[in-house]
Amino acid sequence: MSFFRPNVDQIQGYVPGEQPQETGWIKLNTNENPYPPSPRVIEALERAIRGRLNVYPDPLGTAFRSAVARVFNVEPDWVLPANGSDENLTILIRSFIDPGELVVYPYPSYILYETLVDLQGGRHERMYLRSDWTWDPEVRDERLRDAKLAIVPNPNSPSGNRWGDDEILKLIPPSGLLVLDEAYGDFADTPHRAELLRGDQGERIIVTRTLSKSYSLAGIRMGFAIAHPDLIAGMRKMKDSYNCDALALAAGTAAIEDQEWMQQNAAKIRATRARLTTALESMQFQVVPSQANFVWATHETVPHQWIYEQLKARRILVRFMRFAGVPWAKGEELSGLRISIGTDEETDRFVAALREILAAAPQ
């Protein structure tokens, strides 16, 4: 006999990308930043670990919220810190979705959204994207009609493409809210700074951000949401009192305050992204023009899973992904490789290994 809620029993749970805990891997599978965090982060942590770890952290994350507010040109009460962007997504779904209510999201995209909705007992539907990763207006508007939340990553994953503001504003459900998951926002050529929130429809949009990617702090778990204060105040009820610990708050504040460090790394990643794209195209991969810290590459003839396994045998991890039910894909299943942008050296070693592998590919 199970005491679990039926929807908990039924779901599999989300499986994150492989995380080997030993060194020696070239890890291009979970979109981590290959560069270390700002030295100011380490200095802040050095102070914090010698501070008062025996007392509770600031439940409101006051210093962190002020730092974010300065960068995004909003007031601190527009900011909700969280234990990674994952926690903010959970808070959002728990705040707005009663059992049976509808969440829509683009597809192919980040399937964690479906798991989170299933755990809450909501419904989810997919807004199928076209093969060039643009919106089908008819599908989009039909799905949005009954949605309480639309969750849209921009740039999208796995494709890495980014939709313009005009397209984004069309994604606000007529009776609901748009969650703009900007996990990869800082890698775009022209990153957002909450401009949409200050526009006419700003009260209907919630932006989520993470420090895992652009700020090189995946190990720390720090994210934040930005939205109008009424929305933030309601969401705050849903969070644990002390959801962000003293070290994450110290590290996160220092990271946000060192914009120059983040921007320099983002610029390096954009440059490597261009080199990697060229190299992949020279090997007959199709590569979606990326505004993120990864690229989505598909090969016409060589099986993606085989490439993934050959790379893994050489201790290089990329993400082999399969999306079922994609109308325009061969056999209605889209498969491909999502390759995170590493350092130039990692990228060179990856490209060299890939050339060898393709040369030996079964015909």
Contacts of 78 (CB under 8 A, 6+ apart): 69, 72, 194, 197, 226, 227, 228, 229, 232
Q: Residue 163: CB partners within 8 Å, gap ≥ 6?
A: 135, 152, 154, 156
**Cβ-based nearer residue to its own copies, 197 or 287:** 197
Rounded CA separation 10/76 (Å): 40
Under rule CB under 8 A, residue 53 binds its own copies: yes
- d(Cα 334, Cα 328) in Å, to the nearest integer? 8
The nearest distance, CB 229 to its own copies, in angstroms, is: 14
> Does residue 97 interact with its own copies by CB under 8 A?
yes
**Could you tell me the smallest distance in angstroms from the CB atom of residue 172 to its own copies?**
11
User: Does 121 help bind its own copies (rule: CB under 8 A)?
Assistant: yes
CB of 269 to its own copies, least distance (A): 12
Q: Which is nearer to its own copies, 255 or 295 (CB)?
A: 255
Q: Which of 217, 227, 326, 354 is the binder for its own copies (CB under 8 A)?
A: 217
Of 3 and 330, which CB lies nearer to its own copies in the complex structure?
3
Looking at beta carbons only, is 76 or 176 nearer to its own copies? 176
Which tokens is 22 given? 């030993």
| Binding letters toward its own copies, positions 167-196, x by CB under 8 A | ---------xx-------------------
Does 216 sit near its own copies (CB under 8 A)? yes
Peptide bond into 191 cis (omega under 30): no
315 touching its own copies, by CB under 8 A: no
- How many whole angstroms separate alpha carbon 257 and alpha carbon 251? 10
Tell me how far apart the alpha carbons of residues 299 and 349 are, in angstroms, rounded to a whole number.
19
Could you say whether residue 343 binds its own copies (CB under 8 A)? no
The reply on whether position 45 binds its own copies by CB under 8 A is yes
User: 3-state class of 206 per DSSP?
Assistant: strand
Q: What H or E segment, with its residue span, contains residue 106?
A: strand 102-107
Is residue 66 a contact residue for its own copies (CB under 8 A)? no
User: In terms of Cα–Cα distance, which of 106, 97, 64, 108 is closest to 82?
Assistant: 64
User: What is the spatial distance between Cα 149 and Cα 334, in angstroms, rounded to a whole number?
Assistant: 26
Smallest distance from its own copies to CB 6, Å? 8
Write out the binding residues for its own copies, residues 226-285 only, by CB under 8 A: 234, 236-238, 240-248, 251
Q: Are 169 and 192 in contact (CB under 8 A)?
A: no
DSSP secondary structure, 37-91, as one string: PPHHHHHHHHHHHTS-TTS---TT-HHHHHHHHHHHTS-GGGEEEESSHHHHHHH
Told to check if 81 binds its own copies by CB under 8 A, we report: no
**Closer residue to its own copies (CB): 32 or 182:** 32
Q: Is 114 in the site for its own copies (CB under 8 A)?
A: no
Q: What is the nearest approach in angstroms of its own copies to the Cβ of residue 285?
A: 26
Task: Give min distance, CB of 206 to its own copies, in A.
Answer: 10
Question: Which stretch, 68-76, 97-105, 123-131, 266-274, contacts its own copies (CB under 8 A)?
Answer: 97-105
